[in-house]
Amino acid sequence: MLRILLFLATNFAILLVLGIAMQVLGIDDMLAASGSGFNTQGILAFSMLFGFGGAFLSLAMSKFLAKRGMRVQIIEQPSNETERWLVSTVERFAKQSNIGMPEVGIFNQPQPNAFATGMSRNNALVAVSTGLLTQMDRDEVEAVLGHEIAHVANGDMITMGLLQGVLNTFVIFLSRLGGYIVDRVILKNQRGHGIGYFVTTIIFQILLSILASVIAMWFSRRREFRADEGGAQLAGKSKMIRALKRLQQVNEPQDLEGEFAAFGISGRRSGFSELFLSHPPLEKRIRHLEAQQIL
């Protein structure tokens, strides 16, 4: 789950900064200069530009943020048998999936976890935690690696980037529409943009961004089932189920940080907060996988 939370957090920050910058630099006023009405076409065009720009900037930064934020140690030259096995397994799965060889790394976390990220299918990073290597056997780790390679092969980060771009566009557009209505209709301001516009726009942008995150997390949970199926096809169905059951045995697997959360291997559930989780409950994933016709 590590990968997506970092992606969403970065995207949210970029979106908020760009929104404030549009106001400070007078872009909003410029778009409204055509008259006293709401410049629908102009604001929608800028919303798309900033919305998709913010999403793909987050995507472009994903590997850098992973390496720095999670302190991933990239395996340049394997120094032991475990590292050699990791690299060779990822290489084998990458060839089977017809994607470029991802970078392979290890990050220090006691809980078993892993994630994949990157700008494209041929420029990705697959990283595993130290806890994964110590608490799972080779077959289970192999299944987890298959799961992460499936995320890369399915183009999940690009798909999430496109989805986030669409959501960002609506967040920016609707927040400005809400600000306009409050400023002009409720507060009766007829000169440019008043304080009501700026305050309302920021509040709406924050609230709508939270709603957009819920939608993105729902979509991520759907993609997680596909990644489980992909992992089962690469490593074997029994190994994938064993890996998921092993995660159930661990005391409350921790979600990964930031955008990486949605494309990790584990995730927690917690009542209402499940709406903001990028992974379905493990028991649902196991049942789904057991029902698939995969050897």
Instruction: List the one residue out of 171, 200, 178 whose CA is nearest residue 54.
Output: 171
Distance (Å, rounded) from C-alpha 40 to C-alpha 32?
Answer: 9
Q: Is 148 a catalytic residue?
A: yes
CB burial of 19-44 (b: ≥16 within 10 Å; e: otherwise) equals beebbeeebbeebbeeeeebbeebbb
Query: What integer pLDDT is reported at residue 145 of this predicted model?
Result: 98
* Tens digits of residue pLDDT in 209-230: 888 888 888 888 989 999 999 9
Residue with tokens 């989805």: 163
Answer whether residue 71 shows pLDDT above 80. yes
Instruction: List the one residue out of 255, 254, 235 whose CA is nearest residue 295.
Output: 235
Q: What number of CA atoms fall less than 13 Å from residue 278's CA on the CB side?
A: 31
Mean of all residue pLDDT scores within the chain: 82
> From the candidates 148, 224, 257, 259, which is the catalytic residue?
148
In this prediction, residues 169-190 reach a mean pLDDT of 83
In this prediction, residues 67-92 reach a mean pLDDT of 95
| Helices marked H in the chain | 2-24, 27-32, 40-60, 62-69, 81-96, 130-135, 138-153, 156-180, 195-235, 237-249, 282-290
DSSP states of 200-250 as a string? HHHHHHHHHHHHHHHHHHHHHHHHHHHHHHHHHHHH-HHHHHHHHHHHHHS
What is the share, in percent, of the chain residues with pLDDT greater than 90?
Answer: 41
Six token digits for residue 37:
């009405």
* CB atoms closer than 10 angstroms to residue 272: 6
Six token digits for residue 230:
């992909």
Answer whether residue 108 shows pLDDT above 50. yes
Cross-sheet strand order for the sheet of 103-107: 73-74, 103-107, 123-129, 114-120
Answer whether residue 167 shows pLDDT above 60. yes
Contact residues for 42 (Cβ-Cβ < 8 A; gap 6+): 31, 34
Answer whether residue 263 shows pLDDT above 70. no
pTM of structure: 0.77
Q: What angle do CA 262, 267, 272 make, to 5 degrees?
A: 95
Q: Are the C-beta atoms of residues 223 and 154 closer than 8 Å to each other?
A: yes
Confidence of residue 59 (pLDDT cuts 50, 70, 90): confident
Query: What integer pLDDT is reported at residue 253 of this predicted model?
Result: 47
Distance (Å, rounded) from C-alpha 180 to C-alpha 194?
Answer: 9
